[in-house]
Amino acid sequence: MGNITWEEFVVGVRHVLAVSDSIGDGWHVRGSLEEHGGGYLAKRMDYPVAIGEPSERTAEDATIDHDSVTEPYENDPCSIDPDSSFRPVYGEFHVLYSLAHAVPTLYLRAWRRDGSCLEAQELWRGLTAAERRPSSDESERLRSLTQQEHPFLGEPWYHLHPCRTADLMDQIAGNDVDRVDAKRYFIRWMSTVAPLVGCPVSHHYASFR
């Protein structure tokens, strides 16, 4: 089975939620799973690695220093300054159901703390470096990100194009004698695809009860 129905997708999502809650992995649902194609799975990841340059600054920036602001406690003895030697990057992963391809699709985006987005190439280098995944030719291909408007948010996100997903899932299931149910399908897909773009999937998800 290379494809799954929306109902099977929901079964997979609920399984991820249940496991995620038990291990505090942070997956949650946005939108509504009750409605056909109406919701998706989301997770935030923070990376302490200093990747990418700071966003562009203009000269204007210097004029808004507000040194005139009169805060009496400018040197607040009861606070410490955050460590500025790291430039964190924040990533968000969304698992949507692709109605056209009848497969799950991974959307992702990463940004710096001021909200400026990482370009695809930085995203690549950064997220996967953080994960230190060995890369094979096949994984290189799978990682092919394209820019796509997020169906729910209407903003440009990156996604792993779903056109190969069904083939991939067929391949993975190829020698399997077990019946591949929706949960297994979903977890297999996630653990194949998500780590490629820096979103690890814990082995806990693979224990089914």
Q: In the stretch 5-44, what mask flags binding to other proteins with x, by CB under 8 A?
A: ---------------xx-xxxxxx-x-------------x
CA distance 173 to 114: 42
Can you read off the two tokens belonging to residue 31? 């939108």
- Min separation Cβ 1 and other proteins, Å: 25
Q: Which of 35, 57, 132, 178 binds other proteins (CB under 8 A)?
A: 57
Chain centroid to CA 192: how far? 13
The answer to whether residue 77 forms part of the interface with other proteins (CB under 8 A) is yes
- Min separation Cβ 37 and other proteins, Å: 19
- Min separation Cβ 35 and other proteins, Å: 17
Burial of residue 148, with CB atoms counted within 10 A of its CB: 0-12 exposed, 13-18 middle, 19 or more buried: middle
Q: Which of 11, 111, 128, 173 binds other proteins (CB under 8 A)?
A: 111
Chain centroid to CA 93: how far? 2
The answer to whether residue 132 forms part of the interface with other proteins (CB under 8 A) is no
For strands 89-98 and 156-160, give the pairing. Answer: unpaired
